[in-house]
Amino acid sequence: MAGAAALLAGCVASPSLTGTMGAPSFVSLQQMCSAQTVDYGNDAQGVYATLFDAYVANRRGRLSKDEYCAFQTAIAERYTSQGTSGDPQVRNQWVAFFTEQRARAISWRAAVDPTLRSG
């Protein structure tokens, strides 16, 4: 499943971190749930793509704002505790967790976005 998510992630266009026409910026997405933003470093683009996919699902009624914010908070907390670690085993735990979250967000978006379904 992780391989499929990685493959699908490569096919799904994600806007730039600063936002594009019709897409909020990474900071704007984070501020939907909290005034505090997280610096995801090298993981920023992947996290943004994940949050953006969940945002699309939220905007189209698949996720409530509370569910979206809980999803976003879980990613931020896990990144803070594991993603910034210099210990490769701890960092790998973050990667495994994040891969699962990425797959969830793609699934949510695919349920409401016909452009992600094969035809």
> What pLDDT is stored for residue 98 in this prediction?
97
- pLDDT value for 19: 52
Which pLDDT belongs to residue 2?
A: 40
pLDDT at 57: 96
The residues of the chain scoring below 70 in pLDDT are: 1-21, 116-119
Query: Which residues neighbour 35 within 8 Å (Cβ) at sequence distance 6 or greater?
Result: none
Taking the C-alpha atoms of residue 59 and residue 75, their distance in angstroms, rounded to an integer, is 19
Nearest Cα neighbor of 34 from 2, 88, 80 is: 80
What local confidence, expressed as pLDDT, does residue 23 receive? Answer: 81
Looking at the chain, list the stretches that DSSP marks H as alpha helix, in order from N- to C-terminal side: 2-11, 26-31, 44-59, 65-78, 88-112
Q: What was the pLDDT predicted at 3?
A: 40
Q: Which two tokens stand for residue 56?
A: 């699309």
Helix (H, G, I), strand (E, B) or coil at 103: helix
Distances (CA, A) of 7 to 1, 18, 31, 58: 10, 24, 29, 23
pTM: 0.81
Q: What is the pLDDT of residues 82-106, one digit of tens each?
A: 999 999 999 999 999 999 999 999 9
Question: By the 8 A CB rule, do 38 and 80 touch?
Answer: yes
